[in-house]
Every structure is written in structure tokens, then in C-alpha cells.
Amino acid sequence: MPDFGKYTKELKKLIEEADHILLICHINPDGDAAGAMLALRCWIKSQGKIPEMISPNAMQKFLLWMNDVDKIIDFHHNAETGTRIINEADLIIMVDFNSSQRMGKAEQLVVASKARKVMIDHHPDPDKLADLVISDVSRSSTSELVYFLVNGMEGSEFNDIDFLTAVYVGIVTDTGNFEHGYYSGDTMRTVGHLLDRGVDKERVFNHIFSNFSADRMRLKGFALHSRMVVHPDLHTAYIWLTKTDLEEFNHVKGDTEGFANMLLAINGVVLSVLFVERTGFVKMSLRSKGSFNANELSRKCFNGGGHRNAAGGEMKGSIKEVVQHFENVLPSFRKKLDDAATEMVR
């Protein structure tokens, strides 16, 4: 756990000295990326400064209701504006990622920038690309980490409702509404504080977890019925979806959110993987239970990373090739899968 006293002083000093602050999150931003960035912006605004925000690509539809989300520049569709903002920045704060590659097409500009750089994240093994790295893997989310940093910089509780709501969004999305991922007693005490101070949990739930299209529900049914593979002997299940599958069900960004978690509900399964075909590559989302390290598998096999129980990755090739690669390497993890499954039934 980092020394919050030290880090809050350093971060506050950097913010006070900066004239042009940029907040940037990772590509394909989730609720934690958006929540952490918007929460931090909310506090910086209270200090009399208006930071810019960049996302490497578009926000997912289920996040568009959040306050100030319309101020986030989509670099993929507004590269000229995004480039100008990066070049003008004298402080760049990177949130919810640990590798420069996660900035997509904005990576080279940010890395080359002479601005002071800060990384705030909860993933393991962060790159050394920032002047100040604040990393705490014991937190459920980067948003939870931002909550403690902001209160430290404020010197007391910062109870702006938009700040509190953004933090709550980050926590509930990265834990799947507390169904997976890492969270602690500290996390739940923080959530209790957020609710006590007025966060509307029903509103957040309805926007994030109860706002699906009929096509999305049909895609989910199809995935479970026609694209699910279960290996009971390896305590593993996965879903594979082709580009044609997505087109057939009028897929929009965010429709497969949560699919990777579903198969962990199968008795005996400790590893669940979602394979989604893109143009020229396949995107993977891995989820696990207990001691099985999804992050290790993703790093070794799919150039990915993440947390012990939630990771992601990508691999070039057709979905048939990528799934076959997974099938080939999976048996090498048999003992670790067996051990995790045994622990789960004790």
C-alpha cells in the first residue's frame, strides 16, 4: 500500500504548479476509467482549474449519462484536437492503466511530451513512464484509489455529489456490482460512505446493469446456447463470437460487457474466457475465481495483463486460430486450475 501522505503532497503540488492539465484513460474505457478520470476532474475543478480529458476512443453508451462525460475528447475521432491538447499540456495524469500501449494512437504523443507525468492505477507491474507513479493493487479500482487521494489533497472529506457518484461508478463496474474482482472491507466502508452522502445506487444500477437492448439480450442467449464451450476436466469455460455473430445481433459497443463473468456461475469452473473477433485480431477477456491467476495466463499467452481474477488480451489471427492456441496452452495450466477448483470447494 502506498504512502498516501507522501503521494498526496506530491500530486497536489504538481496540480498547483500546472497551467494546462490533461487527464487521459485507457483505450476502450470502462466504468473505472471514466469514473476515476471524472472524479479527479471534479476535484481539480474545485481548485479553480479546468483540466482537459482524452479517451483513446469513444466512451461506451452506458456511461454517457455521467456528469461532464461530454467533455471527454475521443482521440480516435478528434485526433487534431487531441493532438493540440496533448502538445499544450504541462501535466498529464494517466488513470487506470499501467502500460503506455493502453493509450492507443495517443501513445506516441504522450510518451514524447515534455509535460510532467503522473500514473494513477491499481493494476500490477506499472511501466516506468511517469514522474510520479501511484499504484495500489489492494484497491478494488482506480476510482477507489482516487477517492483516497482526493480526500488526502482536500485535507478533509470532499463530498461533491458528482465526485462521489463517479467514484461509485468505478467501484461497481470493476467489481461487477460486487460479484467478482478484488474488494475489501475498506472498499465496502467507502461504498457505505458514498451512499450515506447521497449517491443514488438505483440510478447507477439502472444505467449500468439494467439498460440493455433486446438485441443484446438475444446475443447473450445465442452466446450461451451456440458459442459456449465447457471443459469440466480443466475447470474452464469460454464463449467465442465472430464478427458475423456481432453483426447479426446489431452489436454496439458495450453489448458483450459482463459476458466473461457469466460462465463462472457453472459449478466447478474457475476460469472463464470471452473471445471476440475484430478485424485482423481477437480480443480476450479472462475472469477467474480463487487462486487461479488469469493475469499470468493473459501475459504469457495473449500479450495482455490485468489482475489475478480479471485480465484481458489481444492476439492477431482469426478467431479459429486464436481459440485453437488457447486450447493448446490451456492444459499447461492444469495443476493450477485443479488447485484453484479444490480450494473453492473446501
Question: What digits encode the pLDDT tens for the residues 190-206?
Answer: 999 999 999 999 999 99
Q: Which residues are paired to 237 by β-bridges?
A: 230, 272
Domain boundary, last residue among 156, 182, 208: 208
Inter-CA distances, 144 with 126, 137, 163, 246, Å: 18, 11, 11, 33
Q: Which residues are paired to 288 by β-bridges?
A: 271
Beta strands in 56-140 (DSSP E): 72-74, 91-95, 116-121, 132-135
Domain boundary, last residue among 187, 208, 229: 208
* Same domain, yes or no: 299 and 191: no
Q: In terms of residue numbers, what domain contains 41?
A: 4-208
122 in Cβ contact with 147 (< 8 Å):
no
Whichever domain contains 39, its CATH number is 3.90.1640.10
User: What cell does 248 get?
Assistant: 447479426
* pLDDT at res. 344: 84
Report helix, strand or coil for 285: strand
Q: How confident is the model at residue 224 (pLDDT cuts 50, 70, 90)?
A: very high
For 227-240, what is each residue's pLDDT tens digit?
Answer: 999 999 999 999 99
* Same domain, yes or no: 228 and 135: no
Q: Give the count of beta carbons closer than 10 Å to the beta carbon of residue 229.
A: 15
Q: How confident is the model at residue 1 (pLDDT cuts 50, 70, 90)?
A: low
Instruction: Tell me whether strands 132-135 and 116-121 are parallel, antiparallel or unpaired.
Output: parallel
257 in Cβ contact with 275 (< 8 Å):
no
The continuous run of DSSP H or E covering 272 comes out as strand 271-277
* Same domain, yes or no: 48 and 133: yes
Measured between alpha carbons, how far is 77 from 56 in angstroms, rounded to an integer?
Answer: 9
User: What cell does 44 get?
Assistant: 481539480
3-state helix, strand, coil in the chain (%, to 5): 50, 15, 35
322 in Cβ contact with 330 (< 8 Å):
no
* pLDDT at res. 126: 86
| Domains in the chain, number | 2
For 123-163, what is each residue's pLDDT tens digit?
Answer: 888 888 899 999 999 999 999 999 999 999 999 999 999 99
This prediction has a pTM of 0.87
